[in-house]
Amino acid sequence: MADAVVEFLLANLKELLLYHVDLLSGVKDQVESLHRELSLMKAFLKDSREKRDESAYVREIVRQITDVTYEAEDIIDTFVVHAAMQKARSALKRVFHALDHSNMLRSVSEDIKSIKVKVKEIYDKKMFGIESLQSGEPSYKPSARKRAPIVEEENVVGFDEEARTVVERLTDGPEQLEVISVVGMGGLGKTTLAKKVYSDPSIEYHFYIRAWVYMSQQYCRREVFLGILDSMGLITDQVYKMNDDRLAEELFRHLRSNRYLIVIDDVWTTEAWNDIKMAFPNTACGSRILLTSRNTEVAMHANPYCNPHRLRFLTNEESWELLCKKVFREGSCPPELQELGQRISKRCDGLPLAIVVVSGLLSKREKTRTWWNKVAESVSTYVARDPTQCMDVLALSYKHLPDHLKVCFIYFGAFPEDFEIPVSKLLKLWVAEGFIQQIGQETLEDIAEEYLVDLVDRNLVIVAKKRANGRIKSCRIHDMLRDLCIREGAEENFLQVIRGIPDRASLTSIPNYCRRLCIHSHVLEFVSSRPSGPHVRSFFCFSMDERDVPREHTSFVHEAFNLVRILDLKSIIFSRFPNEIVQLVHLRFLSLSGHFKVLPPAISNLWNLQTLVVVTTSRNLDIQADLWKMLQFRHLHTSGLSCLHGPRAETRKDSEDPFVRRNIQTICTIVPECCTENILSRTPNLKKLGIRGKLVMLVQERGGMSLFDNLAKLDHLETLKLLNDTFPLDPFKCHIPGLPQSYKFPPNLKKLTLSDTLLDWSEMSTLGMLPNLEVLKLKDYAFKGSRWEPLDGGFRLLRVLQLGRSDLVHWHASSHHFPRLERVVLKHCTHLEEIPCGFGEVSALQNMELYWPTPAAAASARLIQQQKQQDQRMVNSAFKLLIYPPDL
């Protein structure tokens, strides 16, 4: 951890010296000298990695380096805040505060001198104590050829018979509603078994409605009900505004006339079951609840007349099979490693999680007898069936992680239990935290994604959902690994998590150098307690219920955490924009919600800001901040119809434009009127663009030109969303007459989403000509008309096609029209008579999903499935068909 702490401070000092040296007036020389001293510490840390586990002396030196680095960081950051405030004052006020600033300069100068003395003492000690150290694991270097971050499907070993037993219990038995429970200790595979059962074809066929929800220790009734309704595709704006009692009634209403299966994963207490059980009607049609828990008492309470299914430990043979699958994938274990491997798997004592995590440790290093013997000796000191000792088994993988992955892994402790983490947000947070260092020409976000895939490959992170292109959309972490993150994070002063109702003791117990503070519940109680965390650099609010912050507490962040860099306040709602936030000059990531309509110009003062996420209840948002002044800015995410302005100053035609921002990668979502050359020409590296509003303004030509023409200049744009929002007019009265010609689209566009555009199906020929299009999502009413006949030669690279609501009746297509199509998703296509039979000839097609189709369309999909199954006898592939809800 010390490596990352020093690395970040050095990068921060370098940035200050390059871009904001005016703020260091009076201490510039001392800061440069401190940078040189700390660079020596960085070299020592790199050379000492292998010795830390073996030498208490080295560990103590590393601890001292961490402490002195934190101290230096606090001194510099505090001075920068003071200098920025002094600079922002009027000339008269600057004179008035000159003495105060002069005193601050002297104090900081003395503090830096003191820090340098401490650094020298540490350096002298390490030179005296350890004359030579072998270098540790090399710093991270991506492979010359970057591989796509696509993850493997989860290997399941030893669960076939278990799954058959549970499936029989769910599909047989009485017509009355019955709760079937799976119980076992953490890491035994309860969720894995439940997923295997949930996706079993006989279960999909038997139950008309299926839904899945995670419960966790810190559950919220409202979130549980929303999760189930979301699984059923029933979330609307009206439903989302309901309280928990109304949600329970809504869920009851949708379930009462159908046979349903609800999986409730990870229930911890009997009270938790009592809180939600009233939402599940008993209508004597064979419905079931599948409940997983670590606590047998919970299972017996939910159904005292039915014994729970007790999940067993793996046998030695199954343990060895699982380890081999995880380490060698499709290959086999070399003979010289088999004895050691069997010893390792045996010492995991049949606990799948321990085997999976240790497998990740083995797979990421050279497969030598020396390394495997070292792991075998470490594992053999623990017995996995003891949860406490199992934690030590899991800690082995953490201790052997490269330093650049250690901080990324521990960071997962910041998120609540069973929380599904959006990967796009996670990567932005890692970048803002300074965990990701520039390597070659890759973007920081791409490097961060490689780090995440590495953690997945090591079996430390679970893939929750994948994107249409196969990349990771969201991820989770096992409860026990999360506990490990929290434990290690607390020991390193890296992370402090407050999970219950915060009291004065929990607030005053925040360690001196604690850098990240996470509140998982009772946020308003925390806010009203007037917290203080002068050393906190990241503050997260995770609350199941979004709550309004009283007006008198809107300034709490600035008062409590004036050195903060990361602010995730999305779960609390501000009645007005908290203007005090613009004084947090170190801020890099800001996410907040509120009722405001304007983002003030003063946000431009946040020169370090990289990511801005704003969710407002207002339909329109005026972004008055001058983003073009912000050199570090990378991502803008706003709700509603957002108006973004161009630079405030004009640029001479014969000079280089000073307002070009090559860092900006995301702008979502702006109104069509903002797609001017003045804005888009200044974002040449834009990767993702969302446009929402009256799209006719985007494509309408004036003088032979349209605003859409400016998109063609975005050579790096890969994702484009076009949402035709014509409120209060009906979309039918304000639809797009046609699409621009294909050469006017961004040349490297890979993913396109259209909604409410009501285009004629003949316009699809334009989209078919886009040379790099891989994913096409046609949301509700993107196209209109009863017939779609694609033209030959189009969609040469299209892999994913999604159709939403439309009046489409006849659709004719074959392998000539979609030669590389892998996945087809149809949602609420209630007029479509048939899925094109030609899809059976598309050799790449692997997955078809139909939600609420017509009976005829469902029947035609099954014929395609039969054709694919016959072809699979000759080709080693698997075609999956999902029809929801399944036929009764």
Domain of 227: which CATH number?
3.40.50.300
pLDDT exceeds 90 at position 687: yes
Same structural domain, 619 and 762: yes
pLDDT at site 516: 92
Same structural domain, 95 and 166: no
Q: Is there a contact between 580 and 554 (Cβ–Cβ < 8 Å)?
A: yes
Beta-bridged to residue 204, according to DSSP, are none
Same structural domain, 776 and 790: no
Q: Is there a contact between 241 and 267 (Cβ–Cβ < 8 Å)?
A: no
pLDDT at site 137: 40
pLDDT at site 752: 97
Share of the chain above pLDDT 90, in %: 44
Select from 278, 310, 342 the last residue of a domain. 310
Determine, yes or no, domain membership for 434: yes
First CA to last CA across the chain, in angstroms? 56
In single-letter form, the type of residue at position 371 comes to W
Determine, yes or no, domain membership for 587: no
- Neighbouring residues of 843: CB distance < 8 A, sequence distance ≥ 6: 815, 871, 875
Same structural domain, 866 and 757: no
CA proximity to 317, closest of 351, 347, 345: 345
> pLDDT tens digits, residue range 451-501?
999 898 887 898 899 887 888 999 999 888 898 899 888 888 889 888 665
**Which two structure tokens, joined as six digits, stand for 663?**
């860092």
- Neighbouring residues of 351: CB distance < 8 A, sequence distance ≥ 6: 185, 187, 188, 313, 314, 384, 385, 390
Select from 277, 310, 343 the last residue of a domain. 310
Select from 416, 443, 478 the last residue of a domain. 478
pTM of the model: 0.82
* Virtual torsion, Cα 816, 817, 819, 821, nearest 10 deg: -150
Determine, yes or no, domain membership for 369: no
Same structural domain, 779 and 796: no
Determine, yes or no, domain membership for 363: no
Longest CA–CA span in the chain (Å) reads 86
Phi, psi of 807, rounded to the nearest 5 degrees: -100, 20
pLDDT exceeds 90 at position 529: no
| DSSP for 362-412, written as a single string | HHTS---HHHHHHHHHHHTT--TTSHHHHHHHHHHHHHTS-HHHHHHHHGG
pLDDT at site 394: 78
Distance of alpha carbon 620 from alpha carbon 15, whole angstroms? 36
Burial of 434 (0-12, 13-18, 19+ CB in 10 A): buried
Same structural domain, 218 and 236: yes
> pLDDT tens digits, residue range 704-749?
899 999 999 999 999 999 999 998 888 888 888 899 999 999 999 9
Distance of alpha carbon 335 from alpha carbon 347, whole angstroms? 19
Determine, yes or no, domain membership for 204: yes
Tally of domains within the chain: 5
Same structural domain, 760 and 874: no
pLDDT at site 611: 97
Count of CB atoms situated within 10 Å of the CB of 310? 12
Q: Is there a contact between 457 and 450 (Cβ–Cβ < 8 Å)?
A: no
The runs of H, that is alpha helices, within 584-738 are 677-680, 696-699
Determine, yes or no, domain membership for 351: no
Distance of alpha carbon 212 from alpha carbon 23, whole angstroms? 53
Determine, yes or no, domain membership for 362: no
pLDDT exceeds 80 at position 24: no
- Mean pLDDT lowest among 135-139, 653-657, 711-715: 135-139
8-22, 120-134, 515-529, 856-870, range with greatest mean pLDDT: 856-870
554-568 average pLDDT score: 86
Q: What is the mean pLDDT of the chain?
A: 84
Q: Which CATH number do you get for residue 436?
A: 1.10.10.10
Give the domain extent around 230: 160-310
pLDDT exceeds 50 at position 6: yes
**Which two structure tokens, joined as six digits, stand for 864?**
């395609």
Same structural domain, 726 and 692: yes
pLDDT at site 436: 92
pLDDT exceeds 50 at position 174: yes
Q: Which CATH number do you get for residue 695?
A: 3.80.10.10
Same structural domain, 690 and 724: yes
pLDDT at site 49: 64
Determine, yes or no, domain membership for 209: yes
- Mean pLDDT lowest among 34-43, 797-806, 825-834: 34-43
pLDDT at site 350: 85
Same structural domain, 606 and 699: yes
> pLDDT tens digits, residue range 588-613?
999 999 998 999 999 999 999 999 99
- Neighbouring residues of 40: CB distance < 8 A, sequence distance ≥ 6: 119, 123
Same structural domain, 779 and 789: no
Same structural domain, 304 and 409: no
- Mean pLDDT lowest among 57-66, 262-271, 851-860: 57-66
368-376 average pLDDT score: 88
pLDDT exceeds 80 at position 333: yes
pLDDT at site 169: 93
Q: Calculate the alpha carbon distances from 545 to 218, 233, 524, 573, 763 in Å.
A: 12, 21, 11, 10, 44
Distance of alpha carbon 845 from alpha carbon 195, whole angstroms? 24
